[in-house]
Amino acid sequence: MGFPVKFARNRWYVAAYGNEITRKLLPRTILGEALVFYRTQAGQVIALSDHCVHRRFPLSESHLDGDNVVCGYHGFTYDPSGTCVAVPGQRRIPRTARVPAYPVVEQDSFVWVWIGDKDKADPADIPRAPWLDHPEWTSVYGMEPLNAPYGLLVDNLLDLSHETYLHGGYIGTPEVADTPIRTEVDDEQQIIYVSRHMDDAACPPFYAKSTGITGRIVRWQDIEYHPPCLYLLHSRVAPVGVLPDADGSDPGGFHVEVVYAITPETENSTHDFWAVARDFARDDEGVSDFLRESNRTVVLQDVVALNKLAEVLAAERDGYQELSINIDTGGLAARRLIAAQIAAGEGAEPARAPSTAATG
Amino acid sequence: MTAVAGLRDRTDSETVFTVEWVPGTDLLLGICHCGARRRFEDPVELWDWLLRHPEGHVNPPGSAEPPPPVHEPALSR
């Protein structure tokens, strides 16, 4: 079973950070569907199909009139539900004059959008990343475009042994690749856990400079992946020998929550959202700047590698033979869960404007 | 330095598959939610076996010694 390329519909995906959505129209393609985002005057996030039903002009190239979008080509005007409320030169509005509106939820700094059958959208199904806007945590974040299928990023993030080789000098040390992993798959809840606990490891610059630890460390990496979109890495570092207390409190540990949202743009490109939240040095702007730049560098190292890998795979004949070893256990599990999600979402067709749309 | 409580708690799901990298070896131990356990050298074969549950998951839950699988090499324990 190869990495996934096709999309799992009837799922929530991160479309943007909340602060990206303003009173300015923002275009973004999600699972091959062109959407436009904006906020109403009351602050609600709206997501509509980006193509005017009339001649398909991008609504993102248009403008807002109050809470309505006015097409920049002929003036077709849509309210936040996607219903056309005005057309030029006539009073009768064709019955089919509307664009699809998408369910959206703003949560944990993200704007989530539902891609699939609207009546199946349940906000309770959205996985959480509460550190990103939690008052006791400080976050840095960004988004990088990736010219590769999203499945390559899933592979990448589920196997952190690559940190040793691709991210040496930033987050990788020899112990990462050398330490065995434990993998759990909760088939019912659709969650994959991959744990790697290092008892005595070198402290990479990412943690040495941010925590101030100068010696070797205990380093725990606990992945919690909610396919297809949300990836959480619960990271704990502490000086060697410093463990959580028996009651579960952890005054000697430094905690970093690394969050990725893996959102397919097309079958060959991906929105790579990343965030790093910490519970130490929370007011230290220098630490924030360092972690932001360091993590962005690491993400861009992945982007460069995965872009090259995508080029290689695109040029290969179908049916090439992969080789998987122990480090791939979590990634293989993710492929299987996502394949099941793709199958479950089949039949949920991309949102389309009515094909009979006409100007009357 | 505190963690946000509760997020790392596991659910009560009854369908959890576990794969442990056997210490000191290159082997993976697959543990099905039914209790069946089996060692593999190849993670692809491991997942094929786990997800075929209940087919081939014959050793009784709690069994200390998994039955010798077709692909399992001799182990020194």
> Domain for residue A83, yes or no?
yes
Structure tokens at A338: 């996502």
The pLDDT value recorded for residue B10 is: 61
Please check whether residues A250 and A282 belong to one and the same domain: yes
Domain boundary among A78, A104, A123: A123
Mean pLDDT of chain A: 94
Residue at a domain's end among A64, A96, A123: A123
- pLDDT higher than 90, residue A349: no
* Residues ≥6 apart with Cβ < 8 Å to A282: A136, A137, A138
**Which domain CATH number covers A33?**
2.102.10.10
Taking residues B25-38, report their average pLDDT. 94
Give the ipTM: 0.85
In chain A, how long is the greatest CA-to-CA distance?
Answer: 77
Nearest-by-CA chain A residue for B16: A186
3-state SS class at A296:
helix
Do B42 and A324 make contact, defined as CB atoms within 8 angstroms? yes
Please state, in angstroms and rounded to a whole number, the distance separating the CA atoms of residues A343 and B34: 25
**Cα of B76 to nearest chain A Cα, Å:** 19
Kindly state whether B18 is in contact with chain A, defined as any CB-CB distance less than 8 angstroms.
yes
The C-alpha atoms of residue A177 and residue A161 are separated, in whole angstroms, by 4
Percent of chain A with pLDDT strictly greater than 90 = 89
Give the mean model confidence (pLDDT) for residues B14-21. Answer: 93
Range of B38's domain? 18-51
Same domain? A97 vs A185: no
A95 and A159: one domain? no
**pTM as predicted:** 0.91
Instruction: Indicate which of B13, B19, B20 best probes the interface with A, i.e. most A CBs within 10 Å of its own CB.
Output: B19
A135: how many CB neighbours lie within 10 A of its CB? 6
CB contact B52 to A (< 8 Å): no
> Burial of A186 by CB count in 10 Å (0-12 exposed, 13-18 middle, 19+ buried)?
buried
Q: Is A48 exposed, middle or buried (0-12, 13-18, 19+ CB in 10 A)?
A: buried
* Residue range A113-168, pLDDT digits in tens: 999 999 999 999 999 999 999 999 999 999 999 999 999 999 999 999 999 999 98
Within-domain flag for B28: yes
What DSSP character marks residue A133? G
Residue A131 is predicted with a pLDDT of: 97
pLDDT of residue A60 exceeding 80: yes
Cβ of B32 under 8 Å from any chain A Cβ? no
Helices A329-345 and B43-51: crossing angle in degrees, nearest 10, is 40
**Boundaries of domain holding A307:** 132-345
* A105 plus A141 within the same structural domain: no
Residue B3's pLDDT is 47
What is the count of structural domains for chain B?
Answer: 1
Judgement on whether residues A296 and A163 belong to the same structural domain of the protein: yes
Residues A181, A296 within the same domain: yes
For residues A31-41, average pLDDT: 98
Cβ–Cβ gap B16/A185 under 8 Å: yes
User: Residue A352 pLDDT more than 70?
Assistant: no
All residues at 6 or more sequence positions from A284 whose CB lies less than 8 Å from its CB, including other chains = none
The last residue of a domain, from among A66, A98, A123: A123
- Digit-coded pLDDT (tens) for A254-292: 999 999 999 999 999 999 999 999 999 999 999 999 999
CA distance A149 to chain B (A): 22
| Nearest residue of chain A to residue B19 (CA atoms) | A183
| The predicted structure's pLDDT at residue A5 | 84
A262 and A283, same domain (yes or no): yes
Closest by alpha carbon to A229, among A318, A340, A151, A320? A151
**Mean pLDDT lowest for which of A174-178, A295-299, A333-337?**
A174-178
Residue A4 lies in a domain: no
